[in-house]
Amino acid sequence: MQSHGVSADIIIVGCGPTGATLSLLLAQCGITSLVLEREKSIYPLPRAVHFDDQIMRIFQGLNIADALARVVRYNPGMRFVDPQGELLLDWPRPEGIGENGWHTSYRFHQPDLENILRNKIQSTANIQLKSGVEVDAIEQSEQQASVRCTNGEEYRAKYVVGCDGANSIVRSTIGNDIQDFGFNERWLVIDALLKANKPELGDYTIQHCGRDRPSTYVRCPGDRRRWEISLKPEDDTRTVTSDSSIWNFIGEWVNAEDASIERSAVYEFKSQVAKTWRRNRLFIAGDAAHLTPPFMGQGMCAGIRDAANLAWKLAICCRQQQLPDNTRAALLDSYQTERIPNVTEYIDTAIKLGALINSCGTEVALKRAFTRDDGTVQLKSMVPTLGPGVGLGSNACVGSWCIQPQLQNGTLLDDMARYKPILIIEPRLLREHQASANAETHCLVITTQAEPDLQSVLTHHGVDALLIRPDRYILGSANSAVELAELLNRASAMHLA
């Protein structure tokens, strides 16, 4: 076995969207990473097809959003139809730019995203990517973690993060204890390339409800279209993926003269969350940590949120070698306690949506499922708060997502901050704080005098100051100089601001 000493601050196993994003966020924090990817090249066929405005905002912080915008497609929404094709319920997405500075929903081709992420990695000095390298053993001590590869190479780092998918070796090393939420169904996924334009297919995602085989139609970028077809227990995997079966399944929409099949595969849609996301110096993220049915389009999104949550916490622990052990442990443990409730809410909603697609064939049933207590029907994008973690203070806004207003010069808030904490504050409160404490803050400070549009953010939460984490959730708030001093002192003690 050939050992390479300490190879990087962080070893990331897997260079899919989650692992690639994590490496780039760490690099913005000045942290080095070694990314070990089993495959020699990017998988060339479609897989994930959706991300939302929160994820585009993270990509914006990586400075790849403009490149992505050229290859993605705005998703206008979802429609539920009965077996006769009659509209049961409409879930439109806003046509314009939303409160995060982007469209609320995008369709994309995963190889396009991965190529953009890899190109960014190649131009980033703090990241080393090794492709065609498979990890087969992982060990850790009090001081470091190490991975051994099938080629005999061994690498060491302060921490190891497994972004290595549903069969994660890192999760197996941590402990393979899984909570299963009970949704386990086989679906046939068919990706087709149109040979000519077929506008009658439409741009909306269509959920075909209450049929013998419930199905989903997805409008992807360019000529790509996707169908997801529910399978029955007696369906044989080899049979349903034959050419004749595929055309039988989607023949009511397209035939061999209209399209060619790019890919077909049987997936078992699962609903699982690992119970342990961290053991000492080992972590998991993305599909290694959770699997969700696809009906909300949040599988990849959840992994990107994992990366955004974890990167700044690892960075603090790598940079601050003298951080007290209990402080370090609390910060790293918060990754799991914050993310599990958040991702579980998405999974729970996806399960309910899947059950509706399978069983509901009437407008009344669908509206009943989405009716609020006041009697109105509400279908809108979810923005779950975080679970308990490093939020500071008792204000209800702590742990919730902070929107991204446009600045005076026409740019967006994160163009100024990237992946750094932000203090949004009324100038009066900042002056009072500086006068009483003679203190300086260690984060980007933006006053509502300099950026008047930020006042709406403070007003929405009923506060005079908000401290925003690098992952754009609210760390804490203040309404007085005393509260602000306490907030910043507690944040500084953990090197959060």
Q: Using one digit for the tens of pLDDT, what is the confidence trace for 279-310?
A: 999 999 999 999 999 988 999 999 999 999 99
169's torsion region: left (phi>0), alpha (psi -120 to 50) or beta?
alpha
Q: What is the pLDDT of residue 439?
A: 56
Task: Quote the CA–CA distance of 289 and 292 in Å, as a whole number.
Answer: 10
Q: How far is CA 496 from the centre of its chain?
A: 22
Neighbours of 169 (CB within 10 A): 20
* AA identity, residue 105: S
Q: What is the DSSP letter of 384?
A: P
Task: Quote the CA–CA distance of 51 and 213 in Å, as a whole number.
Answer: 26
Q: 473 — phi, psi (to 5°)?
A: -95, 155
For 385-409, what is the mean pLDDT? 91
CA 478 → CA 432, 450, 497, distances in Å? 12, 19, 15
Q: What is the pLDDT of residue 380?
A: 62
Q: What is the DSSP letter of 13?
A: E
Percent of the chain past pLDDT 90, that is, above it, reads 78
Residue 311 host element (H or E): helix 299-319
Task: Quote the CA–CA distance of 11 and 2 in Å, as a whole number.
Answer: 17
* AA identity, residue 274: A
* Order of strands, sheet of 474-478, starting from the edge strand that comes earlier in the sequence: 444-447, 422-425, 465-468, 474-478
Q: Does domain 2-74+98-179+272-369 have CATH number 3.50.50.60?
A: yes
56's torsion region: left (phi>0), alpha (psi -120 to 50) or beta?
alpha
- CA neighbours closer than 13 Å in the CB half-sphere of residue 322: 1
For the chain, the farthest-separated pair of C-alpha atoms sits apart, in whole angstroms, at: 77
Q: Tell me: pLDDT of 367 over 80.
A: no
Q: What is the pLDDT of residue 89?
A: 78
Return the closest-CA partner of residue 350 out of 421, 291, 396, 438.
291
Inter-residue contact 487 to 467 (CB < 8 Å): yes
Torsion, Cα of 290, 227, 117, 153 (10° steps)? 60
| Block residue for tokens 């399209």 | 259
Q: Using one digit for the tens of pLDDT, what is the confidence trace for 74-119?
A: 999 998 888 888 887 788 888 889 999 999 999 999 999 999 999 9
Q: Render 106-144 in DSSP notation, one character per residue.
A: EE--HHHHHHHHHHHHHT-TTEEEEES--EEEEEE-SS-
* 3-state secondary structure (DSSP) of residue 314: helix
Q: Tell me: pLDDT of 394 over 70.
A: yes
> Between β-strands 33-37 and 2-13, what pairing exists: parallel, antiparallel or unpaired?
parallel
Lowest mean pLDDT among 168-172, 228-232, 257-261, 434-438: 434-438
Residue 343 host element (H or E): helix 325-359
For 338-362, what is the mean pLDDT? 84
CA 21 → CA 262, 300, 306, 322, 366, distances in Å? 27, 11, 10, 27, 37
* Residue 382 pLDDT class (50, 70, 90 cuts): confident
Tell me the CATH number of domain 185-269, given options 3.30.1330.10, 2.60.40.10, 3.30.9.10, 3.30.210.10.
3.30.9.10
Return mean pLDDT, the chain.
Answer: 91
Q: What is the DSSP letter of 195?
A: S
Percent of the chain past pLDDT 70, that is, above it, reads 93
Q: What is the pLDDT of residue 377?
A: 47
Q: What is the pLDDT of residue 22?
A: 98
Task: Quote the CA–CA distance of 179 and 341 in Å, as a whole number.
Answer: 13
* 3-state secondary structure (DSSP) of residue 245: helix
Q: Does domain 413-493 have CATH number 2.60.40?
A: no
Q: What is the pLDDT of residue 86?
A: 83
Q: Tell me: pLDDT of 437 over 70.
A: no
- Token pair recorded at residue 187: 């679906």
Q: What is the pLDDT of residue 389?
A: 94
Inter-residue contact 157 to 4 (CB < 8 Å): no
Q: Using one digit for the tens of pLDDT, what is the confidence trace for 5-47?
A: 568 999 999 999 999 999 999 999 999 999 999 999 999 999 9
> Which residues, 6 or more positions from 497, have their beta carbon under 8 angstroms from its beta carbon?
421, 423, 441, 442, 443, 467, 475, 488, 491
* Residue 366 pLDDT class (50, 70, 90 cuts): low
* Residue 376 pLDDT class (50, 70, 90 cuts): very low
Return the closest-CA partner of residue 207 out of 382, 109, 354, 351.
354
Q: How far is CA 144 from the centre of its chain?
A: 28
Q: Tell me: pLDDT of 359 over 80.
A: no
The full set of domain ranges for the chain reads 2-74+98-179+272-369, 185-269, 413-493
| Block residue for tokens 């700044």 | 312
Neighbours of 119 (CB within 10 A): 12
Q: Using one digit for the tens of pLDDT, what is the confidence trace for 182-215?
A: 999 999 999 999 999 999 999 999 999 888 899 9
Residue 369 host element (H or E): helix 363-369
Task: Quote the CA–CA distance of 339 and 448 in Å, as a whole number.
Answer: 31
